Amino acid sequence: MATMISRIVHLAIDRPWREVYAFASDPNRMPRWAAGLASGLRQDGEDWIASGPLGDVCVRFAEPNDFGVIDHTVTLPDGLQVYNALRVTPNGDGAEIAFTVLRLPGMTEEDHDRDAAAVLADLKTLKGLLEHQ
């Protein structure tokens, strides 16, 4: 597979980075801020299953860590695996959260723009939840 075009969507959150990581990396809390997981996640061994319009998708997260890494692989019903890089980084007394949005094969530029806009909306929701606790 050729190298894909990518876009890093990020924003600052005015909360300590470890608090942002703890909240954002909890699969049980993700439906509160990640619209694509609004139906919820159910654990199945090491994986998490999300049901959606395309059917069930399998999500496998990076192990809990001290580096703010929330990377995860999403396996779609057709078997396509998508690697998602999601990171929380210290930023002063707060945090920076960044998601790398890949332009997958067959996606148009407009599709990629929509995906990036959806990720930004999710990150803004997360920011709102954490800064108003």
pLDDT digits (tens, 9 = 90+) for 100-129: 999 988 899 999 999 999 999 999 999 999
Provide the H-helix boundaries in 17-85: 17-24
Give residue 1's pLDDT. 67
Please state, in angstroms and rounded to a whole number, the distance separating the CA atoms of residues 51 and 108: 25
Q: What value does the CA radius of gyration of the chain take, rounded to a whole number of Å?
A: 15
pLDDT in tens, 23-66: 999 999 999 999 888 788 999 999 999 987 778 999 999 999 99
Does the structure show a pLDDT above 90 at 17? Answer: yes
102: left (phi over 0), alpha (psi -120 to 50) or beta: beta
Give residue 35's pLDDT. 87
Q: 114-123 burial, b if ≥16 CB within 10 A, otherwise e?
A: ebbeebbebb
Angle at 94 between CA 90 and CA 97, to 5 degrees: 60
Give residue 133's pLDDT. 72
